Every structure is written in C-alpha cells, then in structure tokens.
C-alpha cells in the first residue's frame, strides 16, 4: 500500500503508510535532532504541524511510559525516512508505529527526508497533507485553515488548574510539603519536563489555563510567574499579552520560547515569522554578558524583532550564532527575563539547565 505527502505548491512524494489511516494536514516543518522523537511527538509547540525528522532511522529505542511531555500526540502528522519495526530498549513498551496508530496520527515513511528538508530551507515552511491518494491530499489542503490563521494555544492549554508535586500532577489544595517556593505557570503549551526541573529546584508549580486573568494569577500568591512555551503566532494572543502586561513588575517573571515572545509583546516589542524556524537540539547561543556559548534545544517558528525593543527598557542578553536572532532578553526594572530556547531540553542538551536555578534564586531574593 502506498501513502503520499503532498505540498501546497503541487509537489507529490510517494512513500509507505505509518501510524493511522486517513488524511491529515498541517504546516510541514523539520527537526534535526537525532533522538527524542517521543518528546517531539508530545510537545504542544508542534500543534498544527506535520513534523519531518531528518535523522534517517526513527524508533529504534521504542516508546516508553515515562518520556511523554504532554497527555497526547501534538503534531498532526509525522514524516520519517524509516520507522524501526522492532525497537530494542529495556524501557520500550511499543513501537513508534503502534503509538501513532493508537493515537490516530496519520503519518508516512519511506521518503527522502533530506531532499524535503532542502526544499523547505529554500522555499520556507508550507502547508502539506498526508493521504493514501494525492488528490485527496490536495483537496484537504484546499479546505484547511492556514497555520498562521489559527490560535493553537487555546486548544493545547490545560482546561483546569492543577499543581505539580513530587509525584507529578496533584490537586491544588495539597499542602506545600518541603517545597520552598510557589511558581504559577501560565500554560500556553507546557512540557512536563519544565515542571520536573522546577520541582527539583524546590518549586511547587500551580499550572493555570492560558486565558487566566492577572488577578487570578496573583490570587495564588506566587513567588514567581512562568510564561510557558507554546505553538503559533504570538501576535494573535492579545488577551494573554494583556495578562502579561498586568503582571509585569508584580512578581519575578521568566519566559521560555513563546513566553519570551509574549514578554516582548507585553513591553511593546514585535515578532516576525522565520523562513523555516529553529527546530533541533544543536543550536548555538551566545550569552552577551559572559561570552559563553551553550548548545540549546529549540522549537519555534517566530522570532523577536530586536529593533522593536528599542525604548522598551529591555536588554538583549543572548543571540543565536547561526542567524543572529534574539535568544534572550532582560527587563531589569520589571523583574522580568526570558529565553527563546528550551532549558528543560527533553529532548536536547542540558547546557542551559542552570537558568532554572537562577530564576529560583530571583524568586528567593524577592521574598526577602
């Protein structure tokens, strides 16, 4: 049986079925990581996108019960060169095909993923479809709403507040226990490993829906506020930006990925869409104050316009060494800072984990 990837410009790629049957559409993007496919598949920042993995063999260590970053598959589809049918790892409980099939995710294998990546790098990201018939795929693309016209944050955010403790999710009314700080997280597309890292650093997290008001955020008496990663165009998130504006200066604030962009919009900055985004585990970032370069995990399609930050009180603190884009800012007068990449990794290197400790120290200082 054959399966096809078709693109909005009329290009057709023939491959083999993977995962569930049916038709799916989304913005086709690529990730250059060699490992971490399970974390990628459950990362909410990929909502609305078909993810192409450039590494040729995917699934060789299988799927386990511990490495999920959310409660569902987030991309609309997956593209790989070859999916391993018989994984080998002591933690594995199923193959990647089994997971995709169980979760109803239409995917494809057997394609020249490097050639498709080169096309995206040249022409930019585009809408695509995976289907068992090319005409069916093109018809689905015609009916699909454009990626940039959708607000994915509201579909991936938590529906109800919850806390994160030693054993994971727990009711908010559970006692603090041994935790020293309360962190309120505005969930715009949160990955579980962010909560795990803050838990290790001594924080009990209260996770709130993206549409939560500033007054409700402050009602939890947080020691700090985290703006989480998430999918889509930050400029479309007017209500969330307004909430961030109303929270600025009230408590120490830290933004990650989309959180960085939301902070920039809240202080008067602007963002723009990258040609093909930053998605992978090997992006070099330079800290302008120390000169130190770290290798980072990234997943975003938009970036901050540095000129738009002039006169806002923000300082650019970090830059991407591949293309010079903004990777971090600080707003000293408002106790706010942010980074464009993922310090929690999952997947990716651990180089930037110290930022969790730095923010916890900032929260502790604010309590004195």
Q: Specify the pLDDT at position 174.
A: 81
Give yes or no: residues 260 and 187 share one domain.
yes
- Domain holding 22, by residue range, is 3-149
Cis, bond preceding 347 (omega within 30 deg of 0): yes
Q: Specify the pLDDT at position 122.
A: 97
Give yes or no: residues 131 and 272 share one domain.
no
Whether 97 is catalytic: no
Helix ranges, 104-248 (H): 113-123, 134-143, 153-156, 192-200, 214-219, 238-247
Tell me the β-bridge partners of 319. Answer: 286, 326
Q: Specify the pLDDT at position 368.
A: 66
Q: Output the pTM of the full model.
A: 0.96
Q: Is 120 helix (H, G, I), strand (E, B) or coil?
A: helix
From 119, 149, 179, the end of a domain falls on 149
Give yes or no: residues 25 and 91 share one domain.
yes
Catalytic site residue from 39, 188, 203, 257: 257
> Whole-angstrom Cα distance, residue 25 to residue 39?
21
Q: Specify the pLDDT at position 62.
A: 98
Whether 342 is catalytic: yes
- Characterise 268 by phi-psi region: left (phi > 0), alpha (psi -120 to 50), beta (else): left
Give yes or no: residues 116 and 23 share one domain.
yes
Give yes or no: residues 199 and 247 share one domain.
yes
> Whole-angstrom Cα distance, residue 364 to residue 212?
25
Q: What are the pLDDT digits (tens) for 238-255?
A: 999 999 999 999 999 999
Give yes or no: residues 207 and 104 share one domain.
no
From 126, 149, 172, the end of a domain falls on 149
Q: Please name which of 357, 320, 341 lies closest in space to residue 260, comparing C-alpha atoms.
A: 341
Torsion angle, alpha carbons of 34, 36, 37, 39, to 10: -160
Give yes or no: residues 201 and 268 share one domain.
yes
Give yes or no: residues 181 and 55 share one domain.
no
Give yes or no: residues 114 and 164 share one domain.
no
Q: What are the pLDDT digits (tens) for 190-210?
A: 999 999 999 999 999 999 999
From 117, 149, 181, the end of a domain falls on 149
CATH number for the domain harbouring residue 119: 3.50.30.20
Report the number of distinct structural domains present in the chain: 2
Give yes or no: residues 132 and 222 share one domain.
no
Give yes or no: residues 25 and 80 share one domain.
yes
Cis, bond preceding 78 (omega within 30 deg of 0): no
Catalytic site residue from 181, 278, 300, 342: 342
Catalytic site residue from 39, 101, 327, 344: 344
- Indicate the DSSP class of residue 118: H
Whether 344 is catalytic: yes
Q: Specify the pLDDT at position 165.
A: 84
Give yes or no: residues 76 and 88 share one domain.
yes
The C-alpha angle with vertex 82 and arms to 8 and 21, in degrees rounded to 5, equals 60
Q: Specify the pLDDT at position 175.
A: 81
CATH number for the domain harbouring residue 214: 3.40.50.880
Q: Specify the pLDDT at position 228.
A: 98
Show the low-confidence residues of the chain (pLDDT under 70): 368
Rounded to 5 degrees, φ, ψ at 355 are -65, -25
């Amino acid at each position: 049986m054959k399966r096809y990837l078709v693109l909005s410009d009329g290009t057709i790629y023939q491959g083999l079925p993977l995962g569930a049957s049916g038709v799916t559409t989304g913005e086709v993007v690529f990730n250059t990581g060699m490992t971490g496919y399970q974390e990628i598949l459950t990362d909410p920042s990929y909502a609305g996108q078909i993810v192409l993995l450039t590494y040729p063999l995917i699934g060789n260590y299988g799927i386990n019960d511990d490495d999920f970053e959310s409660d569902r598959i987030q991309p609309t589809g997956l593209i790989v060169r070859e999916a391993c049918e018989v994984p080998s790892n002591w933690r594995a409980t199923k193959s990647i095909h089994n997971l995709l099939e169980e979760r109803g995710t239409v995917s494809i294998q057997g394609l020249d993923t490097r050639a498709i990546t080169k096309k995206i790098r040249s022409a930019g990201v585009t809408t695509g479809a995976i289907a068992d018939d090319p005409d069916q795929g093109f018809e689905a693309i015609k009916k699909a709403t454009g990626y940039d016209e959708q607000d994915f944050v509201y579909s991936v955010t938590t529906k109800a507040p919850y806390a994160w403790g030693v054993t994971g999710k727990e009711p908010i009314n559970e006692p603090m226990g041994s935790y020293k700080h309360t962190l309120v997280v505005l969930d715009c597309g949160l990955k579980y490993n962010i909560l795990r890292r803050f838990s290790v650093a001594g924080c009990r997290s209260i996770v709130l829906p993206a549409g939560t008001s500033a007054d409700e955020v402050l009602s939890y008496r947080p020691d700090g506020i985290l703006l989480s990663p998430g999918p889509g165009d930050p400029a479309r998130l007017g209500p969330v930006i307004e909430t961030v504006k109303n929270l600025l200066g009230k408590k120490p604030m830290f933004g990650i990925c989309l959180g960085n962009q939301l902070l920039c919009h809240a202080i008067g900055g602007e963002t723009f869409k990258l040609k093909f985004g930053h998605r992978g585990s090997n992006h070099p970032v330079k800290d302008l104050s120390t000169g130190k370069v770290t290798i980072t995990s990234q997943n975003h399609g938009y970036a901050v316009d540095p000129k738009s930050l002039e006169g806002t009180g923000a300082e650019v603190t970090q830059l991407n060494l591949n293309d010079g884009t903004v990777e971090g800012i600080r707003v000293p007068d408002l106790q706010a800072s942010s980074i464009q990449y993922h310090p929690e990794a999952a997947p990716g290197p651990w180089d930037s984990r110290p930022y969790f400790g730095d923010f916890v120290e900032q929260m502790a200082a604010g309590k004195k």
